[in-house]
A and B are shown apart, each in its own frame.
Chain A
Amino acid sequence: MRFIINEHSIEADVDVRTSLLDLLRDHLGLTGTKKGCNQGACGACTVLVDGERINSCLALAVQYQDREILTIEGLGTIGDLHPLQAAFIEYDGFQCGYCTPGQICSAVAMIGEIRRGLPSALTEDLALEQIGFSEDEIRERMSGNLCRCGAYNGIIEAIRATYAEESAQEREAAA
């Protein structure tokens, strides 16, 4: 089977029962993606496929051949962190750090959803082209990513600080 992971083409010969999560963790050594339940209930295993977030524990690897898979390792590295990764450190958006890669990947895709105008259960005006970055809007959209350490406040601050700033810069550039 052939996979495109973090812009690299990778060949792997695995059991068809293997989940995308186990492919990453047990077969490819990409252990940044975490397993918290293996049942789609915690979000620790979130990765991006063609820019959209999925729970990789609920995905069979065999179905994701030739798709663009992005994991935490592809988002940034210790020497070259993605701005959101840096913001998680600055705003203390984690304690044990186990849910963190999933939170970060989920947030990156979630911002894309907001920008594309996809409403959430809390979006009041479905006709709006630009959905706001209110705290509750982000909370609702991030509620599939559990954090038992309870770093929720820091996570929301990190996301808002990163993207509120970016949005402001974009608006400035446009104007």
Chain B
Amino acid sequence: MSILDSAKQAMMGAIVRLTPDAPPDPLIGRHGAVGSQLSRIDGPLKVAGKARFAAEVPYDDLLFAAVLFSRVARGRITSLDTSGAKAAPGVALVMTYQNAPRMGAPKIMGESPMAGGPSNLPVMQDDRIHWNGQPVAVVLAETQEQADYAKSLIRIAYEVEPAITSFEAAKAHAHPPESVLGEPPALETGDAEAALAEAAFRVDNLYRTPRHNHNAIELHAVTVVWDDGSLTIHDASQMVHQTAWTIADMFGIGEDKVRVISPFVGGGFGGKCMWYHQVLAAAASKLAERPVRLVLSREGVFRSVGGRTCTEQRVALGAKADGTLAALIHTGVVAMTTHNSCPEQFSFPARHLYAADAIKLAQEVADMDMLANTFMRAPGESVGTFALESAIDELAIAMNIDPIELRRRCEPEKDPTSGAEFSSRHIIEAYRRGGERFGWHRRNPVPRSTRDGEWLIGHGVATATYPYYRMPGAGARITLSADGHALVQIATHEMGMGTATVQVQHAADRLGLPIHQVSFEYGDTTLPMGTIAGGSNQTASVVAAVRAASDALFDELLRLAGNSSPLAGLKADELEARDGGLVSMQDPTRAENYAAILKRAGRDELAIEASAPPPIEVQKYSMHSYGAQFCEVRVNETTGETRVSRFVGSFDTGRILNPKTAASQFRGGIIMGLGLALTEETMFDERTGRIMNPSLAEYHVPVHLDVPHIEVIWNDIPDPHSPLGLHGIGEIGITGVGAAVANAIFNATGKRIRELPITLDKLL
């Protein structure tokens, strides 16, 4: 960030802090559909196998694609022999850089609000190879079997150039990234190293986390068709508008010429953004002049869709005798490429969690020749909390105090790095409730003191944290029909978070309608632009947009109601929506329902579109979610195997909109955290840059037997500064879990493991 930018930001911050708060959302305290245990409204479709995913859209004349990937990490293609493949039965064409349509390079996500490219590398435009696994050819054939077979006949020769495929080697040239998601990569208050050296108690260690892959069970897939210069992409997407814009830009056509439709996404977790397969399918379909379906193989997903990068982090804590922190240092380096921008913000938790006299935070990136890494569930926080919360546990042990008590003593009054007020922070309450539920007081703090036969039993705890985000620019349209039905439309995403369900609940309350009178449409670029499904921002952003549209709708209804309505003379802020109409808050006898207003005005329907106000709240307050993760493990003394036998997650995430779907989201995050703690690792061959375990048989995600019953509870204290008082909850579940498990393993065995995943060999 330039000095000018920093100065501008500081000034903006000052202005924002002086801006008065927006009045709290009037629905915050109201009980209605929001807060109820509504079952998923897309449930029947999904259990009956009738929810149609991207690879399942039928077209006559469809061609099937198979993708070939580079086997070298860096260099160029010296010869290409596709004659055998072209001559194979059923083959329509083979696309390589030699015949692919000319396309511009993608604009990288973050470069502009509409850009969604995973990196700025051109896609199949030249002979250059940038990573081991880069797509080098696409075969289109009448059936998948024919395409797969023909692919095996392609012969390619490469000229190999030296590549940086060793993290150690890359680290030697590590450098700070330009910014870490808009935040400075380094921050320092006071002299943290000096304070550490003088501290009464100290811990200072390195923590390592490996690469991860999202591994949504649905393979990345698209069905694409060109029609008269317009492209339709049936995609599994967590960012429909950005995908459409970026691909339109690459093909040099108008944004309105690309439609992305994505009604169902079979799991995303950050992995279902824009990658190369959408572009390759569109390009090949353009060449073939036929609709194309491209389903990546599981190996293809590992080769061409990035995952979470590896990290090496130093956490050093220095405590005074009273248990408060004199120094907090969290620095480190992650692997990245020169063609993307995703620095895995591991230092974010330390920016907001603990008060310390001196703080030093710094992030660096080490450039490698590899597939661009990307965001994966709680990028940064998931692995950052592993290091930070392990270190807090180590400090508590060094000081011989309870780790929860240590956290209580370090609780800050204001945000320790920005100085902003917290909008809503009840982390100690989450610890209290979680501890009660878990039975923390019964835990024996002495390592290796509890056993059941050959199983050593241990208990650990760690803090979960994730920021509250609300993205600017989301708009929504509400169409009210004369029969009193409301249709809410916004191009947002349902990947299993429950978006479609809770937004119906929300709209029902906002408009004073019963749930069956509301429908919700999303996942299509022909709808008003919503927000990406990322950073756990979607629910807050959509709620704010729908609220803006409903405010505009009420103004228009009042206007239409005219002078003969019982509402005549009332202003919008004197009304509430109830029983299918508008009612005066002062005098409930003054009311009129929507159907009557529209009928008198001679209207069949009324459609209004509006955009959410900018997210001033995030500039004014330090807004975060918190949680306390409690874990019990059993470690086999003979084999080193770890089993998680109990888990309690206690969360402070504002108001919960649907306890049923929320509990599932928390659990889903925690379970992915158990994978991060114990089994998950994308193995990267440091000699060749090739991923060695590109399959679900060798990349171990948690299975049924790995997962005990997980209890989740929450404070349910609304944040007065957010829409509906809510915080997004898609990511916080995974945070803190790695440390909770590692801390429990230490309590069970006396062994401190600072490198994930904690596999058997590390405990023997």
Contact = CB atoms under 8 A, between A and B. Distances in A.
Q: Is the contact region of chain B dominated by helix, strand, or loop, or is it mixed?
A: loop
A95 B498 contact: yes
Which of A36, A81, A150 counts the most B-chain CB atoms under 10 A from its CB?
Answer: A150
B629 interface: no
Interface in B37-68: 39-40, 42-53, 55-56, 58, 64
Given A35-B219, A36-B217, A37-B695, A150 B667 contact: yes
B266 interface: yes
Interface string A34-51: 111111111010000000
Given A89-B43, A98-B216, A150 B702 contact: yes
Interface in B203-225: 214-219
A143 B701 CA distance: 11
Given A94-B496, A97-B264, A146-B701, A26 B143 contact: yes
B279 interface: no
Contacts of B218: 34, 36, 96, 98
Interface stretch (B91-99, B153-161, B656-664): B656-664
Contacts of B454: none
Interface string A13-27: 011011000100110
Nearest to A90: B39
Instruction: Name the residue in A89, A138, A149, A155 with the highest tally of chain B Cβ atoms < 10 Å from its Cβ.
Output: A149
Nearest to B89: A15
Contacts of A136: 705
Contacts of A96: 216-218, 264-268, 495-496
A66 interface: no
Contacts of A143: 703-705
Contacts of B49: 30-33, 71-73, 101
Given A39-B298, A95-B497, A148-B701, A31 B52 contact: yes
A88 interface: yes
Contact of A97 (B51, B670, B702): B51
Nearest to A158: B47
Interface in B162-220: 214-219
A149 B269 CA distance: 9
A29 B496 CA distance: 23
Contacts of B661: 92, 95
Contacts of A88: 43, 47
B347 interface: no
B668 interface: yes
Which of A18, A73, A85, A156 has the most C-beta atoms of chain B within 10 angstroms of its own C-beta?
A85
Interface string B246-286: 00000000000000000011111100000000000000000
Interface in B695-753: 695-697, 701-705, 707, 709-710
B486 to A, nearest CB: 23
Contacts of A25: 55-56
B404 interface: no
Contacts of B495: 95-96
B264 to A, nearest CB: 7
B671 A152 contact: yes
A153 interface: yes
Interface residues of A, number: 64
Contact of B44 (A33, A44, A78, A144): A78
B665 interface: yes
Interface string A137-166: 011101111111111111110000000000
For the residues of A in contact with B, the DSSP-based class is loop
A100 interface: yes
A104 B48 CA distance: 10
Residue of B495, B664, B697 most packed against chain A (CB within 10 A): B664
Given A31-B53, A152-B707, A39 B496 contact: no
B289 interface: no
A148 B216 contact: yes
Contacts of A5: none
B669 interface: yes
B695 A41 contact: yes
Contact of B145 (A15, A30, A39, A140): A15
Contact of B696 (A73, A94, A146, A154): A146
Interface string A47-90: 00000000000000000000000011100111001000110111
A32 to B, nearest CB: 2
B672 interface: yes
A142 to B, nearest CB: 4
B56 A78 contact: no
B232 to A, nearest CB: 18
B664 A92 contact: yes
Nearest to A122: B705
B56 A22 contact: no
Contacts of B219: 35-38
A131 interface: no
Interface string B128-157: 000000000000000111100100000000
B313 to A, nearest CB: 26
A45 to B, nearest CB: 11
A45 B665 CA distance: 24
A34 B64 CA distance: 17
B295 interface: yes
A84 B240 CA distance: 34
B297 interface: yes
B47 A26 contact: no
Contacts of A77: 48
Nearest to B43: A89
B47 A29 contact: no
Nearest to B673: A150
A113 B364 CA distance: 54
B171 to A, nearest CB: 31
Contacts of A41: 298, 695-697
A109 interface: no
Contacts of B704: 138-140, 142-143, 145, 152, 155-156
A44 B295 CA distance: 15
A135 interface: yes
A60 to B, nearest CB: 11
Contacts of A139: 704-705, 707
Contacts of B43: 88-89, 94
Contacts of B146: 15
B47 A104 contact: yes
Contacts of A17: 145, 149
A89 B39 contact: yes
A62 to B, nearest CB: 12
A22 B55 CA distance: 12
Contacts of B703: 143-144, 146
Interface string B435-454: 00000000000000000000
A108 interface: no
Contacts of A18: 143, 145
A164 B593 CA distance: 48
Contacts of A29: 58
B697 A94 contact: no
A93 B643 CA distance: 23
A119 B726 CA distance: 47
Contacts of A40: 697
Interface string B608-646: 000000000000000000000000000000000000000
29 contacts: A14-B143, A18-B145, A22-B144, A25-B55, A31-B53, A34-B217, A34-B266, A35-B219, A36-B219, A72-B47, A81-B44, A89-B43, A89-B47, A92-B661, A95-B267, A95-B496, A95-B497, A97-B42, A98-B216, A99-B217, A145-B704, A146-B701, A149-B496, A149-B664, A150-B669, A150-B670, A150-B672, A151-B664, A153-B709
Given A41-B696, A89-B44, 20 more contacts: A25-B56, A26-B143, A29-B58, A31-B53, A32-B48, A34-B266, A44-B217, A73-B49, A85-B47, A95-B498, A95-B668, A96-B496, A97-B51, A101-B49, A136-B705, A139-B704, A148-B269, A150-B671, A152-B707, A154-B664
In the A-B complex, the 4 residue pairs with the closest CB atoms: A32-B49, A98-B266, A95-B496, A97-B46
